[in-house]
Amino acid sequence: MSFRLKLTLLKHDVELWSGGGSGIGRAVCLRLASEGASVVVADISEQSANETLGSLPSDLRGQGHMAAVVDVSSKESVTKLTRYFQPPSVCVNAAGITQDDFLLSMDEQHFDRVVQVNLKGSFLVTQAVAQALVACGAPKGSIITVGSIVGKVGNIGQANYSASKAGVEGLTRTAAKELSRFGIRCNCVLPGFISTPMTDKVPEKVISKIKSLVPMGRMGEPAEVADVCAFLASDDSRYITGTSIEVTGGLFIG
Ligand SMILES: NC(=O)c1ccc[n+]([C@@H]2O[C@H](COP(=O)([O-])OP(=O)(O)OC[C@H]3O[C@@H](n4cnc5c(N)ncnc54)[C@H](O)[C@@H]3O)[C@@H](O)[C@H]2O)c1
């Protein structure tokens, strides 16, 4: 028998998920929609955002979802997105990319692009959502960023990605310190290796090696990260801010 914690989300809360078109972001959209939230699925891919939108339950009265196209690395695009609807009481920054290469040969453009999407994107979305919440006098908000365990421990071939994810943690802790007085909590989830289109690109040999290092002996599922985001989104985590929660099956616990 399985049971699920009922989260104390307001029924008509609006949630914004960047990178909601795939993988972890999609799983988070599904989880929160099933709790009764109205979800804005924002992604650079219109098709992926619409696919997620089509899969969301909307059985509860007053619940309505929408899909939107955004490039989180562009201030203009993010500003347009957040002007479009009422300030979301919950925001998850799940958009992210990898462009792997060894440090010795990594292209400057590949470094810049990964930092622009993963780190600057998290900054732009967090800033826009926080500004909107403060401007309308919202009593509270929960902003969740998605870092990575490799931001803490590094990863061969991912100088750009691990640097961007370490930055996301610093950004989140600073945002937590600055925004607490407005009732806005900011927390970061640090997934380990989760089965999504992002990790589908990783060669099977490397995946087997990773699994052998995970104490729980397997990759994680997007829904397992989504469940932690749902907790951080809800009032059940009302005294938690500025923290990072590892969702790794025990990988790199020491
Ligand atoms: N899968 C993992 O093992 C893992 C581990 C640690 C952290 N993460 C992080 O989790 C988040 C989600 O990753 P995922 O595995 O679900 O990957 P994914 O590739 O399945 O999903 C990423 C989504 O982000 C969107 N996106 C990319 N660039 C964008 C942009 N500029 N603006 C808006 N949307 C954009 C993509 O279209 C896609 O829908 C990412 O931040 C990733 O770095 C993933």
**Residues forming beta bridges with residue 246, ordered by sequence position:** 190
pLDDT of residue 5: 38
Q: How far is CA 225 from CA 4, 76, 108, 136, in A?
A: 14, 29, 31, 30
Q: Report residues whose beta carbon is within 6 angstroms of any ligand 1 atom.
A: 18-19, 21-25, 43-45, 48, 70-73, 94-97, 117, 121, 146, 148, 191, 193-194, 196-199
> How far apart are the C-alpha atoms of 72 and 80, rounded to whole Å?
11
Confidence of residue 1 (pLDDT cuts 50, 70, 90): very low
Is residue 252 one of the residues assigned to a domain? no
Domain of 106, in residue numbers: 14-244
The one-character DSSP state at 17 is: E
Average pLDDT over every residue of 42-54 = 95
pLDDT of residue 143: 97
Q: Establish whether 239 is a catalytic residue.
A: no
**DSSP alpha helix (H) spans, the chain:** 23-34, 46-55, 75-83, 108-115, 121-135, 150-153, 159-179, 197-200, 204-213, 222-233
Lateral strand order in the sheet of 244-247: 66-69, 38-43, 14-18, 90-93, 141-146, 184-191, 244-247
Is residue 249 one of the residues assigned to a domain? no
Average pLDDT over every residue of 21-27 = 94
Report how many domains make up the chain.
Answer: 1
Residue of 16, 17, 22 to mutate, ligand 1, most atoms within 8 A of C-beta? 22
Is residue 158 one of the residues assigned to a domain? yes
Q: How far is CA 151 from CA 32, 112, 119, in A?
A: 26, 16, 11
Centroid of ligand 1 to alpha carbon of 181 (angstroms): 30
pLDDT tens digits, one per residue of 171-220: 999 999 999 999 999 999 999 999 999 999 889 999 999 999 999 999 99
Confidence of residue 159 (pLDDT cuts 50, 70, 90): very high
Centroid of ligand 1 to alpha carbon of 142 (angstroms): 20
Centroid of ligand 1 to alpha carbon of 8 (angstroms): 27
CATH number at residue 233: 3.40.50.720
Confidence of residue 17 (pLDDT cuts 50, 70, 90): confident
Residue of 41, 92, 97 to mutate, ligand 1, most atoms within 8 A of C-beta? 97
pLDDT of residue 12: 43
Please pick, among 37, 161, 167, 224, the residue that the annotation labels catalytic: 161
Is residue 54 one of the residues assigned to a domain? yes
Centroid of ligand 1 to alpha carbon of 198 (angstroms): 7
Is residue 253 one of the residues assigned to a domain? no
pLDDT tens digits, one per residue of 26-44: 999 999 999 889 999 999 9
191 CA: nearest ligand 1 atom: 6
Is residue 41 one of the residues assigned to a domain? yes
Is residue 3 one of the residues assigned to a domain? no
Average pLDDT over every residue of 232-238 = 96
- pLDDT at 150 exceeding the cut of 70: yes
Is residue 5 one of the residues assigned to a domain? no
pLDDT tens digits, one per residue of 84-120: 778 899 999 999 999 999 999 999 999 999 999 999 9
Q: How distant is the alpha carbon of residue 209 from its chain centre?
A: 26
Q: What percent of the chain has pLDDT over 90?
A: 83
As a whole number, the mean pLDDT across the chain is: 92
